Amino acid sequence: MMPGLQMYRALGVALQLARLRNAADLPTIARTPGDAALACLVVGALALGLLVGTRTVRAVAGEPYAPITSSAG
């Protein structure tokens, strides 16, 4: 699922509200936070999926977990 449509809708209504504060209809205003929240949820799920996938492949390949540590000290 791509979050582009929800981002586009949320941004479009936000710009409409900035220009025409009194002319925006209530259902459009009510849908905007939902579109923005869904876009954020999809982006977060995509990032989490990449992290879990990478960790799974490394674990199956037998690579040990090596956290990144600072060399200063």
Residue-wise pLDDT for 37-66, tens only, equals: 888 998 999 999 999 998 888 888 887 766
pLDDT top residue among 68 and 3 = 3
The predicted pLDDT at position 47 comes to 92
Domain boundaries, the chain: 4-60
From CA 51, how far away is CA 41, in angstroms rounded? 15
* DSSP class of 25: -
**Which region among 15-19, 55-59, 69-73 has the lowest average model confidence (pLDDT)?**
69-73
Please tell me the distance from the alpha carbon of residue 50 to that of residue 53, in angstroms, as a whole number.
5
What predicted TM-score, i.e. pTM, was given to this entire model? Answer: 0.66
The closest alpha carbon to 39, from 12, 4, 13, 63, belongs to 4
Longest dimension (CA), the chain: 61
